[in-house]
């Protein structure tokens, strides 16, 4: 093992990612999850809804919830996530769901897993998505009560311009194939919205080595890829997904700092 590899030996470490919907984990930090798993960390995921209000409007909510739960399980497996919990909070309603109930679920996951690092959304919710912002607030609230027992908390943000680059590459590929251009990225029509108001990163992680798995994980979220730019990306394009940004909350940093560029 070279010194560089030893520096990325995460055996005995645990990372917990907390997000709102199936697909958030893959687009936001799929590379980080895979890199931590590659290094021997135990990687876990808590997803607070089943995404039943997603854009596959032809599908009944209960059926969509079941399908998206399957999709996140498959995506997680590709990313090396070994523990996936999906709870039944109502998609689209997290800001109006009893905060104490949501925080109970987050607290339970942290108590069970005792993670060294927790990763969740930043205050911008990627593009001001209310569910994302609610998860950011609930996770921060839980961790803030833990004093010396608190894990290192990181907010995952989208590098500004990254989703625009994906959208433009996909549009070029669609046009070259004589097809109509993609309309959205994971249900969001404006590719410039992603990360437009993200806090500056304190940690930039090069995940090009994991980018093909990240793209493969995103493809598992098939219900979200109707007329979607991501469905046009080839493996050659995966490097467009190869940089991830994180913002350390507070002063207690975690083992993922060793992945910094």
Under the rule (CB under 5 A), what is the footprint of Zn ion?
20-21, 24
State CA 96 to chain mean position distance: 22
Euclidean distance between CA atoms 56 and 135, whole angstroms: 23
Query: C-beta of 75: minimal distance to Zn ion in Å?
Result: 13
- Distance from C-alpha of 74 to C-alpha of 218, rounded to nearest angstrom: 10
Q: How far is the CB of 209 from Zn ion (least distance, A)?
A: 25
Residues facing residue 119 across a β-bridge: 17, 154
Phi/psi zone of residue 147: left (φ > 0), alpha (ψ -120 to 50 degrees), beta? left
Closest to Zn ion by CB, 147 vs 189, is: 189
Is 24 or 244 the residue whose CB approaches Zn ion more closely?
A: 24
Choice between 22 and 39, CB closer to Zn ion: 22
User: Taking the complex as a whole, how short is the minimal distance between the CB of residue 100 and Zn ion, in angstroms?
Assistant: 22
The burial of 80, by beta-carbon neighbours within 10 Å (0-12 exposed, 13-18 middle, 19 or more buried), is given as buried
Among residues 23 and 237, whose Cβ is nearest to Zn ion?
23
Report the residue number, 51 or 151, with the smaller CB distance to Zn ion. Answer: 51
User: Quick one: 21 or 50, whose CB is closer to Zn ion?
Assistant: 21
Quick count: other Cβ atoms within 10 Å of Cβ 35? Answer: 28
Distance from C-alpha of 203 to C-alpha of 12, rounded to nearest angstrom? 22
Q: Look-up: residue for tokens 């350390």?
A: 248
DSSP structural state of residue 59: S
CB of 159 to Zn ion, least distance (A): 17
Rounded-to-integer distance, Cα 152 and Cα 157, Å: 16
Residue nearest to Zn ion (CB): 21
State how far Cα 24 lies from the chain centre: 4
Task: Report the nearest approach of Zn ion to the CB of residue 252 (Å).
Answer: 26
Smallest separation, CB 180 to Zn ion (Å): 25
């Amino acid at each position: 093992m070279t010194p560089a590899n030893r520096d990325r030996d995460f055996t005995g470490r645990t990372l917990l990612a907390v997000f709102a919907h199936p697909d958030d984990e893959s687009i936001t930090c799929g590379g980080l999850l895979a890199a931590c798993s590659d290094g021997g960390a135990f990687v876990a995921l808590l997803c607070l809804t089943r995404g039943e209000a997603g854009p596959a409007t032809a599908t009944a909510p209960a059926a969509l919830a079941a399908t998206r739960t399957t999709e996140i399980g498959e995506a997680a497996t590709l990313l090396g996530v070994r523990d996936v919990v999906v709870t039944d909070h109502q998609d689209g309603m997290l800001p109006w769901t009893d905060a104490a109930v949501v925080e109970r679920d987050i607290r339970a996951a942290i108590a069970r897993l005792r993670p060294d690092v927790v990763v969740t959304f930043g205050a911008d919710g990627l593009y001001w998505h209310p569910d994302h912002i609610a998860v950011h607030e609930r996770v921060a609230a839980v961790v803030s009560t833990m004093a010396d027992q608190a894990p290192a908390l990181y907010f995952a943000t989208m590098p500004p311009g990254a989703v625009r680059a994906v959208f433009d590459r996909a549009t070029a590929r669609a046009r070259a194939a004589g097809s109509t251009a993609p309309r959205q990225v994971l249900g969001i029509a404006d590719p410039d919205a992603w990360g437009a108001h993200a806090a500056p990163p304190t940690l930039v992680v090069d995940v090009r080595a994991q980018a093909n798995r990240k793209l493969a994980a995103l493809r598992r979220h098939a219900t979200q890829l109707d007329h979607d730019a991501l469905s046009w990306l080839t493996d050659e394009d995966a490097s467009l997904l190869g940089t991830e940004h994180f913002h350390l909350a507070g002063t207690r940093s975690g083992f993922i700092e060793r992945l910094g560029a």
